[in-house]
Amino acid sequence: MRKLITRILATLLLLLLASALLLGYSYFVEPNRLVIREVSLAVPNFSESLNGLKIVAISDIHGGSNNVTEERLRELVTKANEQKPDIIVLLGDYVSQIDGIHSDLKMPVETIANNLRGFEAKYGVYGVIGNHDWWYDEKSVRAEFERIGVKILENHVHELTIGNESVWLWGIEDYWKRRQVPVSALETITKKQNIIAVTHNPDSMLKAPVGFAIMIAGHSHGGQANFPFYGRHPFVNDPRFMAGEAVADGKHVFVTAGIGTSVLPLRFRVPPEISVITLNAVK
């Protein structure tokens, strides 16, 4: 009997130790990592002459969350610029609240913007607003990012001329605002070709019309944890749109797992990432 009790206690001790190590790794180690995730995607409604178009996507910065320091923000700028992108898109949730959606911020939005100054891309730097941003103060977040040269696209299309082609960036408001996808801006584009939709929440895919080449989004944080056997838990969005490329109803989306954390200051097998997306036409 004594041996059985000893074995049970030893097993419990080992489980507690393993749990402590995993929590320590998830809090102290993984949020400190930063990976460059490179993907090449073949997408519809995209001109072959644009093959090789390189887009850097960064989402869910959540300034002031675990390890998202001013130094980390400046590192994002340096690492993004090193990729020599054609376009940089920032996909929202720049801020992080201290306690609740209407509370003060862990890092002032002015500080976040100042440390993100300096992104460089051949055809410009563009952004959208995330749910944490409009929960806090969309107007001030937008003003600060436009001050540092980021063009915010909110239900707006922006035309780029690349070679002999027009490329359209279609910025879509955060899906949680009204649970819909306004299409008036999209309808101004007569030829549905070379349209890149950018938004915070990939669930916009569910109500967006067909015709765009790719939607690029964030919001999911990749689940923040990717458990062995179980996988990622879809806390905030459709489970099909957790991380990486997905296709639904013939529409393509790429979801980046983001930089910061929300609710729990942990990441496990989902390191902070900068996504480098190379687009090519479907053959």
pLDDT reported for residue 12: 75
pLDDT reported for residue 9: 72
On the CB side of 68, CA atoms within 13 Å amount to 33
Q: Phi/psi at 194 (nearest 5 deg)? A: 65, 40
pLDDT reported for residue 67: 96
H or E element at residue 3: helix 2-24
- 63-120 pLDDT, tens digit per residue, is 999 999 999 999 999 999 999 999 999 999 999 998 877 779 999 999 999 999 999 9
Q: Phi/psi at 109 (nearest 5 deg)? A: -65, -30
- 178-221 pLDDT, tens digit per residue, is 999 999 999 999 999 999 999 999 999 999 999 999 999 999 99
β-partners of residue 279 are 41, 53
pLDDT reported for residue 27: 94
Section 46-56 average pLDDT? 98
How many angstroms from the chain centroid is the CA of residue 172?
14
Please determine, for residue 272, whether its predicted confidence score (pLDDT) is greater than 80.
yes
Q: For the domain 33-281, what is the CATH superfamily, name and number?
A: Metallo-dependent phosphatases (3.60.21.10)
pLDDT reported for residue 111: 98
Q: Can you give the residue ranges of every domain in the chain?
A: 33-281
How many CB atoms lie under 10 A from the CB of residue 18? 10
pLDDT reported for residue 6: 77
- Name the residue with tokens 């340096």: 78
Helix/strand/coil for 248: strand
Q: Phi/psi at 244 (nearest 5 deg)? A: 80, -160
Section 268-282 average pLDDT? 97
**Confidence bin at 164 (pLDDT 50/70/90):** very high
**Confidence bin at 8 (pLDDT 50/70/90):** confident
Section 47-59 average pLDDT? 98
243 to each of 63, 132, 172, 233, 249, how far by Cα in Å?
Answer: 21, 19, 19, 11, 18
Note whether 247 and 50 are within 8 A (CB): no
pLDDT reported for residue 248: 94
| Contacting residues for 21 by C-beta, under 8 A, at least 6 apart | none
pLDDT reported for residue 57: 99
